[in-house]
Homo-oligomer: A and B are copies of this chain.
Amino acid sequence: MGLLATLLIFGVSLSLASAERPMRRSLVFPMETDNSYVELVPQKDLDMGAFTLCMRVATELAEGNREIILFAYRTLYHDELNVWREADGRYGLYLSGDGVLFHLPELNTFQTHLCLTWDSKLGMAAFHVDGKRSIRKVYKPGHKVQKGGKVILGQDPDSFLKDFDSKQSFIGEITDVNMWDYVLSDAMIEALHVGKRMPRGNIFDWETIELIVNGNVKVITEEL
């Protein structure tokens, strides 16, 4: 009887806890600048033979035809891992050199869930847009992403965290940036898209990530 009561109370408190809506930070980049960006502090080195990178992005820039930087990881001398929306509307992944390009639906003012997977073994790279995977493309098998750099959102550094070009800057909103040093399955990425919050990123976990804001970027906390 005592045990049953305990179990029931435990059950109730669990339900109450799960009824509280989770909160999430969102980064608002309100205008074109050459000095506004957010540095993401990783939980461990970006020393990777494979990765999954996800984020939710909304921008009205894709109406035009300029480059838009979506993610930049730069070490002292190299652009280690950059993600672009190109001037011609395609999407590009660049791992230290020439990139691989994909034809995806345009970003727009509503939130798009964008993921990117790459594995060194076969060199398979693919985007996932709102839970749907693009074709896989073979890109840099055997390559490795090097540690020791910095990840920023909002600008493309042409040298180590300097030399930003406002015409490549991001305007709009970015949230829920997570990174894993392995490839998530299509089904897991679809689950993340519709709101599942597991598995948490082991390189970047947006729920606990430390953000260093520079310039004109607003950090909004919103209910999910």
Could you tell me which A residues sit within 8 Å of B by CB distance? 21, 26, 28, 30-31, 58-60, 63, 102-104, 108-111, 122, 124, 127, 129, 132-138, 172-173, 185-187, 218, 220, 222-224
Q: Hey, which chain B residues are within 8 Å of A28, CB to CB?
A: 124, 135-136, 138
B173 touches A220 (CB 8 A): no
A158 to chain B minimum Cβ distance, whole angstroms, is 26
Q: Hey, which chain B residues are within 8 Å of A127, CB to CB?
A: 109
List 16 extra interface pairs beyond A26-B136, A186-B222, CB under 8 A: A30-B138, A31-B138, A60-B102, A60-B135, A63-B103, A102-B109, A109-B127, A110-B129, A110-B132, A110-B133, A122-B218, A124-B220, A136-B173, A136-B218, A185-B223, A187-B224
A34 to chain B minimum Cβ distance, whole angstroms, is 18
B59 touches A135 (CB 8 A): yes
Complex CA–CA separation, A135 to B26 (angstroms):
11
Known: A222-B186, A223-B185. A111 touches B136 (CB 8 A): no
Write the chain B residue with the least CB distance to A28.
Answer: B136
Complex CA–CA separation, A187 to B60 (angstroms):
22
Q: Hey, which chain B residues are within 8 Å of A138, CB to CB?
A: 28, 30-31, 218
A176 to chain B minimum Cβ distance, whole angstroms, is 13
18 contacts between A and B (CB under 8 A): A26-B136, A28-B124, A28-B135, A28-B138, A30-B138, A58-B133, A58-B135, A60-B103, A102-B109, A103-B109, A104-B109, A109-B134, A110-B129, A111-B132, A135-B172, A136-B173, A185-B222, A186-B223
